[in-house]
Amino acid sequence: DIQMTQSPSSLSASVGDRVTITCRASQSISSYLNWYQQKPGKAPELLIYAASYLQSGVPSRFSGSGSGTDFTLTISSLQPEDFATYYCQQSYRAPQTFGQGTRVEIK
Amino acid sequence: QLQLQESGPGLVKPSETLSLTCNVSGGSISSTSYYWGWIRQSPGKGLDWIGSIYYSGSTYYNPSLKSRLTISLDTSKNQFSLKVSSVTAADTAVYYCARAQMGVGGLDYWGQGTLVTVSS
């Protein structure tokens, strides 16, 4: 299986901060990388697909970059509603696998 | 607007079979542009891919669960189903159904999730 490793596992940030989360794949996955946001008690929501494409309806403060093995999710100006857990997922090779998650907390 | 809704028992006894159904509304499960998947999340843990099914009925199962899994499609009811046999406490989780875009797309629509507890 392709292992997905996110860093950091958690972070504390303030409203308005720029936040960056990284995801590394154990082998090249081209651009088959997706990012999700999950709030407590809710299903994950797709933010970014194919590494850098913004899902319809997602605010433009979210962006993604990377290819191969190293990927980044950036929130340009953190908003109160962005405090959540973020997951990366590879859809390059079955079984599809997720990172362990990054919890974004209020400082 | 596409909607997915999981249904099934919230409590299953050890060694029995967990059965869930995902009802899809607002779109056809027979679309060739998408496939359908099951994902689970153990309490306080991350997300695990269980398996998927395509409009043709072909399936992919996570090798870690393959011997215990069955995923099927019912186009007449616009729904797909999951069965996990011989369950143990380790199968206790929130189970999600979701739609996946073919190609490089992600899981763009999810059900709200249903908690299944394995306990006697």
Beta bridge partners of B19: B83
Amino acid identity for residue B72 in this structure: S
The per-residue pLDDT for B37 is 97
Report the residue of B41, B107, B112, B115 to disrupt the A interface, i.e. the one with the largest count of A CBs within 10 Å. Answer: B107
The per-residue pLDDT for B52 is 95
The per-residue pLDDT for B102 is 87
Close Cβ partners of A81 (under 8 Å, ≥ 6 residues apart): none
Instruction: Encode pLDDT of A55-98 as tens digits.
Output: 999 999 999 999 999 999 999 999 999 999 999 999 999 999 99
Measured between CA atoms, how close is B11 to chain A, in angstroms? 19
Instruction: Encode pLDDT of B35-80 as tens digits.
Output: 999 999 999 899 999 999 999 999 999 999 989 999 999 999 999 9
The fraction of chain B above a pLDDT of 90, given in percent, is 94
Residue A22: closest CA among A101, A77, A107: A101
Q: Are A9 and A87 in contact (CB under 8 A)?
A: no
Alpha-carbon Rg for chain B, nearest whole angstrom, is: 14
Helices (H) and strands (E) counted in chain B, each on its own, are 0, 11
Q: Are B25 and B2 in contact (CB under 8 A)?
A: yes
* Residues belonging to chain A with any Cβ–Cβ distance to chain B shorter than 8 Å: 31-32, 34, 36, 42-46, 48-50, 55, 87, 89, 91, 94-101
The per-residue pLDDT for B105 is 82
How many whole angstroms separate alpha carbon A62 and alpha carbon A33? 15
Close Cβ partners of B68 (under 8 Å, ≥ 6 residues apart): B84, B85, B86, B87
**Whether residue A107 has pLDDT greater than 90:** no
pLDDT band for position B104 (50/70/90)?
confident
Instruction: Encode pLDDT of A19-57 as tens digits.
Output: 999 999 999 999 999 999 999 999 999 999 999 999 999
Chain A residues whose CB is inside 8 A of the B98 CB are 43
Average pLDDT, chain B: 96
